[in-house]
Amino acid sequence: MVGTGYVGLVVGACLAETGNNVCCADIDTKKIESLRNNVLPIYEPGLEPLVERNQKEGRLSFTTSLEEAIASAEVLFIAVGTPPEENGAADLKYVLQVAALVGRHMTREMVVVTKSTVPVGSAAKVAAEVAKEAKFPFHICSNPEFLKEGDAVGDFMRPDRIVLGVESAHARRVMMDIYAPFVRTGKPILVMDISSAEMTKYAANGMLATRISFMNEIANLCDELGANVDFVRKGIGSDSRIGQSFLFPGPGFGGSCFPKDVRALLRMGAECGVPLDVLAAVESANERQKRLLVQKLRCALGEELAGRRIGLWGLAFKAGTDDMREAPSLTLIDALLDEGVSICAHDPAAVEHARALLGNRIDYAETNYEALAGADALVVVTDWNEYRHPDFERVKRTLRQPVIVDGRNLYDVEKMRELGVRYYSIGRPSA
């Protein structure tokens, strides 16, 4: 497994858990050193015991030597980052660097798997790179990953489906063997051509991002027209053609996948002259949504925000992770700091990452209540469980005035009214 980030580490640990010998390699020496000591560089529920147990039992090892990992492997997963380039395209630099090393250091026939999210046509580039120095036959497989941060172990152990893009019987057989333990309940392994597998990953993320932006816009319209998005959501979600998932409005999507994958998909469309108007709108609607909470704060506190202090609950782009990549909290914080607002934030997992990005531009609180001391309003950005049912009397006592702007619709409007809280959420009546 080359690349031990959110994906590589989870996949490596889960594959070791089913009995495979997995060697995880990364160029980040600090990361590898701490993993050897069972100290995880990321927050991901349920991952630590897997890493510790499998390392102790000798099925999972960590190295900074890519050469060593490649030389010992029959199957090599490439799970390095594919960050966006300036023009939105996924940057294949790291993937192709690894591919070049695979050709150089392989010691036997191999299956080379792209686990990273890569644009259609990337597998061919990986194959060409490996082929330059390969002394043994090799087989390419595109095996996109659908896990979600915050429940990554559960998703990998009990996937809805596995997608395999292959072009040889050998790759198909080897990969079906590896994944057999994960589909004992009958979930499908979908075998297809490589281009379709690569496209499937982008189409999945494009669809999920579309649902989010669509619901955000419907919620904004509810706000204007006096409808309640909670009812609307249930009203449409109970249609079996629509379903209940991904219908919650919020402060815009973020994270390491949706924003970058939508942009990469748009770039793919632009490069081959296929308009992707829906996705272009998904992106611009999301950029607008990320600024919605500033407007809500103006409704709550008045046009002039300079000199105000805000208690902010949640920095991570969503609950269950410490990932801050493209988090809506960052857009909100930048906008508020520009206005002259001071901020004290709490997050159960992401403070360390936030500090690295924001330094002392904001204050950080040890507990969620501490973040409210002297604040003019509480703004909820991430839907962590511990924010769902707080001690509201304490919230009221600690804030300078009882104002809550809720970017996740966590609280009951009627209850807020009874408590005497001035409450603003998304697509629902204010209290």
Ligand X SMILES: NC(=O)c1ccc[n+]([C@@H]2O[C@H](COP(=O)([O-])OP(=O)(O)OC[C@H]3O[C@@H](n4cnc5c(N)ncnc54)[C@H](O)[C@@H]3O)[C@@H](O)[C@H]2O)c1
How far apart, in whole angstroms, are the C-alpha atoms of residue 260 and residue 257? 5
State yes or no: residue 27 binds ligand X (CB under 6 A).
yes
- Contact between 424 and 401 under an 8 Å Cβ cutoff? The reply is no
Chain positions 29 to 68 lying near ligand X, rule: CB under 6 A, are: 31, 66
How far apart, in whole angstroms, are the C-alpha atoms of residue 16 and residue 10? 10
State yes or no: residue 7 binds ligand X (CB under 6 A).
yes
Q: What is the number of alpha carbons within 13 Å of residue 189 lying toward its C-beta?
A: 19
User: Residue 15 or 343: which CB sits closer to ligand X?
Assistant: 15
Counting residues that bind ligand X (by CB under 6 A) gives 27
Beta strands 162-166 and 138-142 are: antiparallel
DSSP secondary structure code for residue 291 in this structure: T
- Please give the C-alpha separations between residue 27 and each of 32, 52, 334, in angstroms, as whole numbers: 8, 21, 32
Which of 79, 178, 350, 431 touches ligand X by CB under 6 A?
79
User: Residue 27 or 270: which CB sits closer to ligand X?
Assistant: 27
Interacting stretch for ligand X, rule CB under 6 A, among 145-153, 266-274, 354-362, 377-385? 145-153
Catalytic residue among 257, 272, 299, 344: 257
Which of 20, 34, 63, 97 touches ligand X by CB under 6 A?
97
Per-residue tokens: 134: 């390969």
Binding mask 230-269 for ligand X (x = CB under 6 A): --------------------------xx------------
Instruction: Give Dmax over CA atoms of the chain in angstroms.
Output: 74
State yes or no: residue 8 binds ligand X (CB under 6 A).
yes
State yes or no: residue 376 binds ligand X (CB under 6 A).
no
- Least distance (Å) between residue 206 CB and ligand X: 13
- Please state the φ and ψ torsions of residue 336, each to the nearest 5 degrees: -70, -40
State yes or no: residue 14 binds ligand X (CB under 6 A).
no
State yes or no: residue 4 binds ligand X (CB under 6 A).
yes
State yes or no: residue 142 binds ligand X (CB under 6 A).
no
Which of 28, 85, 91, 167 touches ligand X by CB under 6 A?
28
Residue whose token pair is 């897997």: 50
Per-residue tokens: 372: 């409210």
Residues linked to residue 76 through DSSP beta bridges, in sequence order: 112
Per-residue tokens: 149: 């941060």
Q: Which of 325, 316, 324 is nearest to 407 (CA)?
A: 316
How far apart, in whole angstroms, are the C-alpha atoms of residue 253 and residue 233? 18
State yes or no: residue 23 binds ligand X (CB under 6 A).
no
State yes or no: residue 82 binds ligand X (CB under 6 A).
yes
| Active site annotation includes 257 | yes
Dihedral (CA of 27, 82, 203, 242) sign: positive
What single-letter amino acid sits at 10? V
Which of 55, 61, 117, 142 touches ligand X by CB under 6 A?
117
Which of 80, 162, 344, 365 touches ligand X by CB under 6 A?
80
Residues near 10 by beta carbon (within 8 Å), at least 6 away in sequence: 44, 47, 147, 152, 153, 156
Interacting stretch for ligand X, rule CB under 6 A, among 20-28, 121-129, 158-166, 273-281? 20-28
State yes or no: residue 81 binds ligand X (CB under 6 A).
yes
- Least distance (Å) between residue 346 CB and ligand X: 23
State yes or no: residue 130 binds ligand X (CB under 6 A).
no
Give the residue numbers marked as catalytic.
Answer: 257
**Chain residues that interact with ligand X, rule: CB under 6 A:** 2-8, 25-28, 31, 66, 79-82, 94, 97-98, 116-117, 145, 147, 149, 256-257
